[in-house]
Structures are given as structure tokens and as C-alpha cells.
Amino acid sequence: MAVDPSSLAIVLYPADVLRRRAEKVPAVTDHVRQVAITMISLMQEAEGIGLAAPQVGLPWRMFVAHVPESPEDERSVGSDPPTATPAPVVYINPVLSLPEGIVEPYDEGCLSLPNISGEVLRPPRITISATDLEGRPFTSRGAGLLARCWQHEIDHLDGVLILDRMSQLSRLRARRAIRELERSAT
């Protein structure tokens, strides 16, 4: 599991690691903490709201997220359950439960799929249980963009990409960009 955190970088589709099922993080060590802190920096540099360990080449069940409040959306300010995080959050060995509500479409992007976005259907409210950087378990309920972010990142831990979930029309629109990524990898 040893990897130099300073060597980590965001990997792009079609890297194999993005298609593997990631493995549980056995213990929250200093090394895991360093990797998580590096992932937060990489996410911020790329202006993303979430980043999963497979996206930096590590098949670990861990992701980071920082979902900002949307000032235009009054519902997001102090909404219950929350739709944003006040600061970056690290989720180790996360598990989702209790999805609720009618699935909603939303145009999702992904840091591993530059220039690609597509409409994905997801339930609007869900609960996440995970371990934090101190090794303590926690449970949160989220809605809106936060709930969507959790589901997108946990998909990454199972080797699932928005390409697998987006509408046929979105996939058709993204066809050229997908092919370009596949070509630049070979």
C-alpha cells in the first residue's frame, strides 16, 4: 500500500484502476492521512467537488468531497438534510443506505473524464456511513448535490463511471470526447 503521496495525480479514463472494485482501507494510518490530504489538494486544484482514491491510481475505498453552498439556490442554505459541506470531508470505507425520493436527472461531470458530462438519474436523499481521518465512524444524511456527490464517488469505488449511467442521448453527445480520451491513452 505504500505510495509516495507527492507522486499522486489524477488519472483519466480509460485507466484500468477506474474499472476495478476498490478494497477496504484496513487501518487509518499516517500514510492514509497523507494520501487523503493530497487528494483534497488535487481536488481543489482541479476545482472539483469530489475525488475518489481510484482517480489518483489507488484501489482504496476512500474519497474526499467539498460541496459548496450554492448562493443562487436558497434551498441549499441551512437545508435539512444538508446539500453542502462547510469544509472538505474525508470518507473512508463508506457505505450508502436509505435512498429516498424520486430519482432526479442532473448533468454530472467527472475529473477523470475531462470535457464530458451527462445526465444521470439518482435519488435525491441518502445516508452515508464511513470512518473519518481519526479512525472514528460517523453517519450523515445528505440531499441535493451532496447526496449526488456521495453516490458518484462511491460508484468510483465499485469501478462504475458516469459513462455507465448517463442517458443514451448524453452518451451520444459525448461520443467524440470519449473516443479522443481512448485514443490519447493508446
- Residue from 67, 110, 143, 146 in contact with Zn ion (CB under 5 A): 110
Of the candidate spans 27-35, 72-80, 109-117, 122-130, the one that interacts with Zn ion by CB under 5 A turns out to be 109-117
Nearer to Zn ion, 43 or 130 (CB): 43
Residue with cell 441551512: 78
Nearest approach in angstroms of CB 52 to Zn ion is 7
104 in active site: no
Those residues whose C-beta lies under 8 Å from the C-beta of residue 128, and which sit 6 or more positions away, are 91, 94, 95, 96, 97, 139, 140, 141, 142, 150
Nearest approach in angstroms of CB 75 to Zn ion is 24
Nearer to Zn ion, 110 or 130 (CB): 110
Q: What is the DSSP letter of 88?
A: -
Of the candidate spans 70-78, 89-97, 104-112, 164-172, the one that interacts with Zn ion by CB under 5 A turns out to be 104-112
Q: What is the DSSP letter of 86?
A: S
Nearer to Zn ion, 13 or 28 (CB): 13
Q: Choose, from 69, 100, 153, 180, the residue flagged as catalytic.
A: 153
Cβ pair 61, 157 in contact under 8 A: yes
Q: How far apart are CA 140 and CA 118, in angstroms?
A: 27
Nearest approach in angstroms of CB 2 to Zn ion is 25
Q: Describe the strand order of the beta sheet including 89-100 as a list of residue ranges.
A: 50-52, 62-65, 89-100, 125-131, 137-143
- Is the backbone peptide bond immediately before 81 cis, with ω within 30 degrees of 0? yes
Nearer to Zn ion, 89 or 110 (CB): 110
- Give the interface with Zn ion as residue ranges (CB under 5 A): 110
Q: Point out the residues that are catalytic.
A: 153
